[in-house]
Amino acid sequence: MQIQLTTHPPLSAQTVVIPVAQTEGLSATLTELANRLQLLPETLQHDFKADFKEVLPVYQPDGRKVFLLGLGKEPTAISWLRAFRELFFRQKDRLTTGVGVELGGFAGEVVEAVVLGIRWGGYVLKQHATDTPTVSGFYAEEGQLVIAVSDGQLTQAETALQRAEAIADTHRQMLDLMNAPSNYKIPQTLADWAVASGQQYGYSVTVFDRAEIERQGLRALLSVNQGSANPPVFIIAEYKPADQPNAKKVGLVGKGITFDTGGISIKPSTNMHLMKSDMGGAAAVLGTLEVAAKLRLPVHLIGIVPSTENMVDGQATKPGDVIGSYLGKTIEVIDTDAEGRIILADGLGYMVRNFQPDVLIDLATLTGSVIATLGYHAAGLFSNNDELTSQLLKSARQTGEPLWPLPLWDVYQEDIQSDVADLKNFSGKPMAGAISAAKFLEVFTDGHPAWAHLDIAGMAFADTEFGTQKNATGFGIRLLIDFLRNVFTADNE
């Protein structure tokens, strides 16, 4: 699909989408639209209220289709994205090859959310089905999308379009990786993707195999891998802007468990098939690295992904075992299903000792506790830095990828005290599990003064229009790109 920006209404398009917000001037807007579409104003006002995601198709005498798309009151970026995503997903088999979108009267920056919604609306979840539906002409190479904006908004719209296109394809690839079943996605799969991406977009990628992981002393990662026939990998991706030698350095660490049985502390079978999604943190980190390189953001970015399966066999780590870690701390493994924090311990430790980033952020589908706390509406945010917390919350509001801050009080440190090792990986208590997990990770930040942990367990996989069961959202990529773009771009200007 090709995209063109214009300042003229796309009157020649076979299908036109006109978004409408519930403003105080809605009545006047609908009267104007009714006159354009040869409708009675009172009929249109009766039948269309511009509620969020409301769609009214209007067929014109010349055969063209016009969709009026409701945005609701005070639409945000995520409102735009979701409204367009659902419309185009529901209509994708009926879309004409050419589609126009009228955005006159709206800010040019909404183009980013509109384009992402339209691109996402063409996503096909059935990657391994033999009866995959035929791609509509609009989503094929010959498809044409014309977006009309106001004269004064063209420059802003062009910038937003560039950003959207940089995000869209990477986001789709991360959805494919997360939705892939575990027999199509092992740790080496993530490594191969990262290497190919680095070669294409000009950033360095180093992958430690099992022998190098052993040589480096990444013993926590090795312990989780003991029950798996597939070896672990430790991925280090680094993007440096060529023209910014003094750019701020940001370290991202993502949990890359490609399948999680729970190990010896095995999970119930009911939802275990969804544990192919346990690399949502890795997807956010890898996706952010690629998009940052595409956009040439003025920030020095390092991404680390420790990746393994958490499986069960005679060699698997057992509850009660004491294991080592990259920083030398010993860990008593109370619960082998609390494996994500164990591999992140080595990822964080390696990051702070070898790269000394100015800002350190980790992302992980870490605990069911955060879902019990926040449901499926926000990720948990833990940070030791108020300024970093504020910046991340601002980006969360802007992108619609919500975060909610939770405490890191020292009193919770008692939950990870061990009788036989430096600390234990699980409190054993039926409460505050997300907090005790964050306190565990804090130990391996080595006292870093600007660290944030995002527990995205409730957000990385969700119920969407794409399927009948939970599927990937790509949560974290847009959030992190907005954070990097707005905080560090400003710092380097």
Query: Which residue type occupies 156?
Result: Q
Q: State yes or no: 255 annotated in a binding site.
A: yes
* Contact by Cβ (8 Å): 203, 262: no
Beta-sheet strands, E only, within 80-130: 98-102
Tokens (6 digits) for 270 = 């009911």
Burial class (CB in 10 A: 0-12, 13-18, 19+), 469: exposed
Q: How far is CA 336 from the centre of its chain?
A: 26
341 belongs to the catalytic site: yes
* Contact by Cβ (8 Å): 114, 106: no
Q: What stretch of H or E contains 430?
A: none
Cα Rg of the chain (Å, integer): 24
The DSSP annotation for 318-386 comes to -TT-EE--TTS--EE-S-TT--HHHHHHHHHHHHHHHT--SEEEEEE---HHHHHHHTTS-EEEEES-H
> d(Cα 397, Cα 81) in Å, to the nearest integer?
14
Encode 214-228: b = buried (16+ Cβ within 10 Å), e = exposed. eeebbbbbbbbbbbb
For every residue of 6-73, which 3-state class applies, written as one string? Answer: ECCCCCCCCEEEEEECCCCCHHHHHHHHHHHCCCCHHHHHHHCCCCCCCEEEEECCCCCEEEEEECCC
Q: Which of 92, 341, 439, 478 is catalytic?
A: 341
* Contact by Cβ (8 Å): 346, 331: no
Q: State yes or no: 212 annotated in a binding site.
A: no
* Contact by Cβ (8 Å): 53, 140: no
- The strand pairing partners of 454, in sequence order, are 363, 381
Tokens (6 digits) for 393 = 């919350």
Q: State yes or no: 260 annotated in a binding site.
A: yes
Q: Which of 248, 267, 329, 470 is catalytic?
A: 267
Q: State yes or no: 92 annotated in a binding site.
A: no
> d(Cα 108, Cα 484) in Å, to the nearest integer?
21
Between the two ends of the chain, the Cα-to-Cα distance in Å is 34
The DSSP annotation for 252-299 comes to EEE-EEEEE--TTSPPPSTTGGGGGGTTHHHHHHHHHHHHHHHHT-SS
Q: State yes or no: 192 annotated in a binding site.
A: no
Residue 252: which of 192, 292, 295 has the closest Cα? 292
119 belongs to the catalytic site: no
- DSSP secondary structure code for residue 153 in this structure: G
Residue 480: which of 408, 398, 424 has the closest Cα? 398
**Annotated catalytic sites, by residue?**
267, 341
| Residues making up the binding site | 255, 260, 278, 337, 339
| Residues making up the binding site for Mn(2+) | 255, 260, 278, 337, 339
